[in-house]
Amino acid sequence: MSDKPSANVKPVFAIAEVAIQPEQRWRDTIRLFCANRAALFGLVAVAVFVFVGLFGPVIFPADPFDPVAAPLSAPGEYTLLGTDYLGRDVFLGIIHGTRPTLLIAAIATLVTVLIGITLGSVAGYFGGVIDNVLMRITEFFQVLPPLVFAMVIVAVFSSDMVVVVLAIAVTTWTTEARLTRAEFLKIREREFVTSSRAMGAGNLRIISRVILPNAMPPLIVAITLRVGITIIYEAALSFLGLTDPDVMTWGKMIGLSRDFFFDAWWTVTFPGVAILVVVLCIALIGDGLNDAFNPKLRGR
């Protein structure tokens, strides 16, 4: 008799969770996303970039830091996309730069999002004093111009990749925190939250298993767009020469050729086009997700 109530409660809990997270909606979202040709194109193109990042250095194993031809030779003269002021192959640089560029952006985005979602959900869920304190901290971080703050962090500590990733995360998490908080404030008063609390779910469970899944749609769109922003952000730091000098990234290629680009447009144009294309494709994915999550708002 004693285990009967718990046996009764369990399925109710399960049903409640299924109701909160209707699979139908996710299926609809995926269907709508796949119907969006631009978004699918973006997805395929990003997959190609990831492939190049993974296997490019295997297919073209030459060291991108080695000179291969005369300095500042035009595209097609010796190499496909020309050479820079030390005779390094621009094409090889782009291929080898893909992996670090994408990897740093992915890790930095992950750290940013983890900080943002954690602080945002705690602030939004508990409210009151906790919310107040966390929001004041958020405001403080918002008045520090991101790039300037990141430059200072790198200058004070080091241009190690770990520091660069942390600098990017520390200076940008506020957007995700605010968004998560806003979603939590909206959702926490809903009935299914009250009912799971009545069923004895703890705070951690309610935050992570009940509210967060329902807050995900706008967050997923924001995270997708964040990856693109982070790629550009990291490129800016590399452009200024503030990242690891031994790692070739697209931003660094542009920065290294800064004093020579009037004589050799190709040295800065092609790495920049690589950044532009990959971020553009990420934007297409983000737009597609946004339309798929909010079919009513299409075209805005």
Q: Is 140 in the site for another protein (CB under 8 A)?
A: yes
Among 76, 145, 245, 295, interactor with another protein by CB under 8 A: 145
Residue 151 touches another protein, criterion: CB under 8 A: yes
299 interacts with another protein by CB under 8 A? yes
Q: How far is the CB of 260 from another protein (least distance, A)?
A: 11
Q: Judged by CB, which is closer to another protein: 113, or 284?
A: 284
* Interface with another protein, residue 155, by CB under 8 A: yes
DSSP 102-117: HHHHHHHHHHHHHHHH
Q: What is the DSSP letter of 67?
A: B
Can residue 280 be called a binding residue for another protein (CB under 8 A)? Answer: yes
Distance CA 231, CA 49 (A): 13
CB of 142 to another protein, least distance (A): 7
User: Quick one: 105 exposed, middle or buried, by C-beta within 10 A (0-12, 13-18, 19+)?
Assistant: buried
- Tell me which of 283, 285, 289, 292 binds another protein, using CB under 8 A: 283
CA distance 294 to 173: 24
The three state secondary structure string of 223-267 is HHHHHHHHHHHHHHHHHCCCCCCCCCCHHHHHHHCCCCCCCCHHH
Range 193-252, binding another protein (CB under 8 A):
225, 228-229, 232, 235-236, 239-240, 242, 251
The distance of closest approach from Cβ of residue 251 to another protein in the complex, given in angstroms and rounded to an integer, is 7
If one asks whether residue 177 binds another protein (CB under 8 A), the answer comes out as no
Q: Which two structure tokens, joined as six digits, stand for 288? A: 């597609």
**Tokens at 18, concatenated:** 């299924």
Decide if residue 144 touches another protein (CB under 8 A): yes
Residues 6+ apart with CB under 8 A from 63: none
> Under the rule (CB under 8 A), what is the footprint of another protein?
139-140, 142-149, 151-157, 225, 228-229, 232, 235-236, 239-240, 242, 251, 254, 258, 261-262, 265, 268-269, 272, 275-276, 279-280, 282-284, 287, 299-300
